[in-house]
């Protein structure tokens, strides 16, 4: 089984994006978002003194720049290895997302962290991550491995996985708004909010925080239903392990959300909470993409490559 170089590059790009999201969360949690008040330089330099908040903010920028270079290398490998046109189109879409996201990052700094722009910056990062993951699955040499899934189960997995991924994305965007509007402690108690099952929703920040919690509950139910679609089937191998891993990441993410509030938004749980959301998004996108994979072709014919 031959693994293409562009598939490896796509996996690296997706992993790199997870690191970038994690660093971005550290930047905000440490109050370093404006440690470099100018853009694209930092105090007029491309290599400022890496101390204090500048370390985290400029490191985030350097890693973001590295991701763009990695994506360009991925595109070169896609063209050199004559990947299907659908993969090339996906790569072009990813490049556009990356460049727009970089501009949003600069605007965020220059406009002094407006919540709407900052949240859009985060949303674009998640969209790029999802695209990179779909392309990585589509180009994987394991895409036609027999998994014991019937066509009907594949369809159900794709539908549940897509719904779960959409909910995780929406929940992450809500989390970004909670973070950028400083609503993280609008409900300082758990499991209630201000001592009530349903808090006073006329307070905007309380309503936003409460919506984040309610959406988390709905998202968790759908994620578990998606994993159970696999676990109740005859699926085996990597797909079954992924289903169990998805459930594990979900409960880890819930624990991190609780810890973030209990620790009054300490840097470690808050940053890991963002990483957990991104990891859960990756897992659900993979499950959805796997549900769209073609069945193993008969008589040794090459299978078509599907990109959702």
State pLDDT tens for residues 120-147.
999 999 999 999 999 999 998 876 554 6
Q: How would you classify residue 294: left for phi > 0, otherwise alpha for psi between -120 and 50, otherwise beta? A: beta
Residues 225 and 266 in one domain: yes
Residues 9 and 136 reside in one and the same domain = yes
Instruction: Please indicate, yes or no, whether residues 132 and 89 belong to a single structural domain of this protein.
Output: yes
Same domain, 156 and 238: yes
Is 70 part of a structural domain of the chain? yes
Residue 184 pLDDT class (50, 70, 90 cuts): very high
Q: Is residue 181 part of a domain?
A: yes
Q: 47-67, pLDDT tens digit by residue? A: 999 999 999 999 999 999 999
- Give the pLDDT of residue 304: 44
Please say which residue of 144, 172, 190 terminates a domain.
144
Q: Which domain holds residue 92?
A: 1-144
Q: In this structure, is residue 304 part of a structural domain? A: no
Residue 303 forms part of a structural domain: no
- % of the chain with per-residue pLDDT over 70: 92
Give strand pairing partners of 42.
45
- At residue 307, the pLDDT reads 46
Q: How many domains does the chain divide into?
A: 2
pTM of the entire structure?
A: 0.92
């Amino acid at each position: 089984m031959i693994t293409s170089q562009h598939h490896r590059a796509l996996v690296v790009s997706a992993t790199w994006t997870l690191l970038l999201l994690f660093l971005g969360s550290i930047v905000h949690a440490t109050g370093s978002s404006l440690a470099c008040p100018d853009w694209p330089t930092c105090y007029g330099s491309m290599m400022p003194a890496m101390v204090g908040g500048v370390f985290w903010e400029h490191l985030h920028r350097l890693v973001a720049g590295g991701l763009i270079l990695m994506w360009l290398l991925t595109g070169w490998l896609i063209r050199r290895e004559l990947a299907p046109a659908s993969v090339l189109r996906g790569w072009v879409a990813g490049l556009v997302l990356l460049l727009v996201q970089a501009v949003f990052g600069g605007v965020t700094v220059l406009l002094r962290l407006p919540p709407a722009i900052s949240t859009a910056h985060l949303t674009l990062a998640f969209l790029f991550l999802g695209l990179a993951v779909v392309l990585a699955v589509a180009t994987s040499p394991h895409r036609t491995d027999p998994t014991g899934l019937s066509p009907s189960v594949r369809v159900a997995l794709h539908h549940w996985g897509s719904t779960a991924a959409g909910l995780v994305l929406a929940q992450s965007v809500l989390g970004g708004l909670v973070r950028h509007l400083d609503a993280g402690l609008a409900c300082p108690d758990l499991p209630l909010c201000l001592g009530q099952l349903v808090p006073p929703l006329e307070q905007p920040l309380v309503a936003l925080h409460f919506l984040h919690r309610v959406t988390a509950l709905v998202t968790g139910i759908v994620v578990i239903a998606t994993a159970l679609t696999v676990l109740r089937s005859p699926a085996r191998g990597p797909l079954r392990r992924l289903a169990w891993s998805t459930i594990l990441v979900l409960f880890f993410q819930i624990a991190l959300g609780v810890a973030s509030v209990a620790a009054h938004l300490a840097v470690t749980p808050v940053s890991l909470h963002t990483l957990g959301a991104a990891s859960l998004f990756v897992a659900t996108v993979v499950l959805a993409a796997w549900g769209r994979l073609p069945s193993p072709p008969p008589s040794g014919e090459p299978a078509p490559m599907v990109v959702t």
